[in-house]
Amino acid sequence: MKILLDECVPMVIHEYLHKKGYEVVHVKNTMLAGLSNSVLYKKAQGEFKLFITTDRHFAHPEKFKPNENFGVIYLRVAPTIGPLLVQALENFLTQADLKMVVGKVVIVRRNDHTFR
């Protein structure tokens, strides 16, 4: 499963997911860097299965709709520092599989999550 990390996501998330065996790419390391949210979202849907972000705008269900082959994880953790984000994602992964996110938006908080 190919995962794209938004520019606002710390690289520690890339390292964490890579160690878990996922194919993960950070926007900063691609030609997608600097694109507007809407353009980035459209381009990501063609190549990736999941998009992980800390940008609350991507959780808007009407503006950024997932499709059957693409899902979004919005890490809603404050402050948005690496160790807290990793902990929230790890908590989520103990309860769910990333394959469950494809086709949905999931809001992941420190100790819980909500599927939309």
Domain borders along the chain are 2-115
pTM for this prediction: 0.93
pLDDT band at 48 (very low <50, low <70, confident <90, very high): very high
Sign of CA dihedral 25, 29, 32, 35: positive
Task: Give 70-88 pLDDT, tens digit per residue.
Answer: 999 999 999 999 999 999 9
Close Cβ partners of 103 (under 8 Å, ≥ 6 residues apart): 66, 67, 68, 69, 70, 71
Q: Which CATH number fits domain 2-115: 3.40.1000, 1.10.357, 3.40.50, 3.30.420?
A: 3.40.50
- pLDDT at residue 61 tops 80: no
Task: Give 20-46 pLDDT, tens digit per residue.
Answer: 999 999 999 999 999 999 999 999 998
